[in-house]
């Protein structure tokens, strides 16, 4: 008798997040218990449950020692925390509000036909890989605007590839790889560089009180790395990801030229965007006495870059709303010009229809928010990163082996602690002096760190915005089976491995040859 083919059982991502939540709670209790085991007046497993690090006091500017322990959640206090924070963990989860706001603008621009009209402007001879390169490049440099790339480029990637009659899954994958995998490098100096330089400087001044880490100390490296990673991301998408995906088949209109209504819609859009551009420039003009000028700047900060792109900048804080509003107004302008929008009901229909597509995303966001909040509460990720850095200190190696080991350690630690600024604030005071004693400049240590921390972002469910990538894979999935977390990571594996190898090769070459990484800044002291 022929053996019947059994349908392969797979776990839904929601189920996996529930398992991760339960597993984290149990693990926190186990590690906490192990740390309290005493043998011959010693605590041999204490390194599993506690750690100490130096942190920069924002008021005094001095380093202070912090001691943390694994916090067990499998006790009365822990369970009370979980129960009392279920709602707040979800409501305060940053991706939730950002994706809802972004969806309003993206949907109106898409449903009105604006994106389709824009896609028809290109010449038929234009290679499609150019759009892939632009998508990945925008993802890499989107770190200039914190997390903007996750909420806009992932859905836009799907839309762009759909309009090109290519599988939208590839667009989602390429966008996420660019944003998450290239987060540590960008073609411009941003608030991220300011934060890194602050802690790098604190670490350097432990050995040299007069040392000053320049803000542009990594600019040469990040410019080159941005271009290289964007090219490699494009090649991976075109040569590895797309060939594995089925060709997209849908009812896209076969018309390849713009008609009269579409041209009028684009004219209306252009006029609206000119007005928006003028208004935007007006609101970022510094030191202007006119009403409303400089509205988006943080005038309390020093330097125009910090005023515009600093953490307290109104432009930076409101960027998702600003971009969504631009897309929303542009979509309406196009719709009015092309007659795809006849009244306000059409606009409302566009928006409400989009909500039907993200119901799965909302549920996924809920369970992901609980897992990330609970894991953070346990301190497990922080303590493991502290232990890894202490291992480097105890090995007492120097030179190129130190560079390579540090790169690997940061990659491993980043899987459990995804915030690059928080992680650097913890390890910089320890690791920067170690490198300086090996004649390696603090700025180059920062280069190694930001390069190693990026590739692993695309392989960890602890990255808050991973859930957006996962949900859009499901939204555009044409198969009956749910897109599993294993499947989502399988798409990312080529990017993670090749990005990591590329970064490491760049760093080794830079170190051996001694190329400048910034104006007057070199890998060695």
Helical spans, DSSP H, in 396-438: 399-414, 420-437
Residue 213's Cβ-side half-sphere holds a number of Cα atoms within 13 Å equal to 28
Cα 79 from Cα 402, distance rounded (Å): 42
Which letter, b or e, does each residue of 74-87 get, where b requires 16 or more Cβ atoms within 10 Å of its Cβ? eeeebeebbeebee
Strand partners, 443: none
Displacement of CA 371 from its chain's centroid (Å): 18
Band (256; pLDDT cuts 50, 70, 90): low
Tokens found for residue 75: 């006790």
d(CA 392, CA 484): 36
When divided into structural domains, the chain yields a total of 1
Q: Which residue has the tokens 């390890």?
A: 427
Asked if residue 15 belongs to a domain, the reply is no
Measured CA to CA, the distance from residue 134 to residue 231 in angstroms comes to 10
Distance in angstroms (rounded) separating the CA atoms of residues 410 and 423: 9
Q: Residue 431 has what pLDDT? A: 94
Q: What is the pLDDT of residue 508?
A: 96
Return the C-alpha torsion angle 89, 489, 386, 38, nearest 10. 80
Most distant pair of Cα atoms in the chain: their distance: 87
pLDDT reported for residue 462: 94
Q: Output DSSP code: residue 2.
A: P
Question: Among 462, 484, 492, 467, which residue's Cα sits nearest to residue 15?
Answer: 484
Predicted pLDDT of residue 184 = 80
Give the integer Cα–Cα distance in Å for 54 and 425: 8
Is residue 19 one of the residues assigned to a domain? no
Residue 290 — very low, low, confident or very high, per pLDDT cuts 50/70/90? confident
* β-strand pairing of 50-56 with 63-69: antiparallel
Q: How far apart are the first and last CA of the chain?
A: 74
What is the C-alpha separation between 361 and 472, in angstroms, rounded?
8
Residue 14: which pLDDT band, with cuts at 50, 70 and 90? very high
Measured CA to CA, the distance from residue 137 to residue 130 in angstroms comes to: 10
Q: Which residue intervals of 318-379 are DSSP H helices?
A: 319-338, 344-357, 359-378
Flag whether 159 is in a domain: yes
pLDDT over 70, % of the chain: 94
Contact 167, 245 (CB under 8 A): yes
Residue 355 has pLDDT above 60, yes or no: no
- For residues 449, 453, 455, 457, the Cα torsion angle rounded to the nearest 10 degrees is -170
Report the distance separating Cα 400 and Cα 145, nearest Å: 33
Q: Which pair of tokens denotes residue 164? A: 């090109």
What pLDDT is recorded for position 402?
A: 95
β strands within 180-249, DSSP E: none
The pLDDT of 280-299, averaged and rounded, is 86
CB 84 within 8 A of CB 39: no
Q: 125-134, 177-186, 383-392, 399-408 — which one is most confidently predicted on average? A: 399-408
Report helix, strand or coil for 347: helix
Question: CA 417 to CA 97: how far, in whole Å?
Answer: 23
Residue 398 belongs to some domain of the structure:
yes
What is the pLDDT, as a whole number, of residue 436?
Answer: 95
pLDDT bracket for residue 128 (50, 70, 90): confident
190 part of a folded domain: yes
Our CA angle for 252, 258, 260, nearest 5°, is 120
164 or 480, higher pLDDT = 164
Q: Which residue has the higher pLDDT, 327 or 64?
A: 327
> Does 106 score more than 70 pLDDT?
yes
pLDDT at 356 over 70: no
Mean pLDDT of the chain: 88
Q: Select, from the ranges 139-143, 293-297, 330-334, the one with the highest average predicted confidence (pLDDT).
A: 330-334
CB atoms under 10 Å from CB of 345, counted, come to 9
Residue pointed to by tokens 């499947």:
487
Is residue 186 situated within a structural domain? yes
- What is the residue range of 141's domain? 83-513
> What is the 3-class SS of 474-511, one letter each residue?
HHCCCCCCCCCHHHHHHHHHHHHHHHHHHHHHHHHHHH
Report yes or no on 17 lying in a domain: no
Residue 39, domain member (yes or no): no
Q: What pLDDT does 251 receive?
A: 45
Rg of the chain over Cα atoms, rounded to whole angstroms, equals 25
């Amino acid at each position: 008798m022929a053996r019947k083919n059994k349908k392969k059982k797979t776990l839904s991502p929601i189920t996996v997040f529930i398992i991760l939540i339960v597993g984290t709670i149990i693990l926190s209790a186990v590690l906490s218990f192990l740390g309290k085991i005493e043998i011959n007046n010693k605590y041999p497993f204490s390194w599993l449950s506690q750690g100490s690090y130096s942190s920069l006091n924002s008021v005094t500017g001095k380093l202070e020692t912090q001691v943390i322990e694994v916090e067990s959640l499998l006790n009365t206090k822990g369970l009370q925390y979980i129960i009392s924070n279920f709602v707040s963990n979800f409501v305060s989860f940053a991706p939730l509000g950002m994706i809802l706001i972004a969806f309003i603008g993206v949907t109106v621009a898409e449903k009105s036909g604006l994106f389709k009209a824009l896609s028809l402007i290109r010449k038929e001879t234009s290679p499609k890989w150019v759009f892939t390169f632009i998508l990945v490049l925008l993802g890499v440099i989107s770190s200039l605007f914190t997390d903007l790339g996750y909420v806009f480029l992932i859905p836009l990637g799907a839309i762009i590839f759909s309009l090109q009659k290519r599988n939208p899954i590839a667009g989602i994958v390429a966008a996420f790889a660019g944003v998450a995998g290239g987060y540590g490098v960008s073609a411009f100096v941003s608030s991220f560089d300011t934060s890194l330089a602050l802690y790098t400087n604190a670490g350097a001044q432990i050995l040299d009180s007069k040392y000053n880490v320049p803000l542009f100390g990594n600019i040469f490296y990040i410019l080159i790395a941005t271009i290289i990673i964007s090219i490699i991301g494009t090649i991976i998408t075109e040569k590895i990801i797309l060939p594995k995906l089925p060709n997209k088949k849908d009812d896209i209109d076969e018309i390849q030229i713009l008609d009269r209504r579409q041209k009028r819609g684009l004219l209306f859009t252009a006029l609206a965007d000119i007005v928006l551009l003028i208004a935007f420039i007006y609101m970022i003009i510094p030191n202007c006495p006119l009403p409303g000028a400089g509205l988006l700047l943080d005038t309390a900060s020093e330097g125009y870059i910090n005023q515009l792109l600093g953490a307290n900048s109104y432009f930076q804080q409101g960027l998702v709303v600003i971009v969504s509003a631009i897309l929303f107004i542009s979509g309406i302008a196009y719709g009015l010009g092309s007659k795809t929008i006849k009244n306000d009901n059409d606009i409302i229909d566009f928006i409400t229809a989009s909500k039907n597509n993200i119901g799965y995303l909302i549920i996924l966001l809920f369970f992901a928010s609980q897992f990330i909040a609970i894991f953070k509460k346990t301190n497990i990720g922080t303590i493991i990163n502290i232990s890894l850095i202490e291992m480097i200190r105890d090995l007492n190696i120097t030179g190129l082996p130190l560079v390579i080991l540090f790169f690997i350690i940061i990659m491993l630690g980043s899987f459990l602690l995804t915030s690059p600024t928080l992680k650097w604030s913890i390890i910089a005071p320890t690791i920067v002096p170690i490198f300086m004693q090996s004649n390696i400049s603090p700025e180059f240590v920062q280069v190694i760190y930001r390069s190693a921390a990026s590739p692993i972002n695309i392989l960890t469910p602890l990255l808050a915005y991973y859930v957006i990538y996962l949900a859009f894979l499901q939204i555009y999935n044409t198969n009956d089976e749910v897109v599993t977390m294993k499947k989502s990571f399988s798409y990312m594996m080529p990017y993670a491995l090749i990005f990591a190898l590329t970064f490491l090769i760049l760093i080794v070459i830079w170190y051996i040859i001694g190329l400048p990484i910034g104006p007057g800044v070199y890998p060695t002291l």
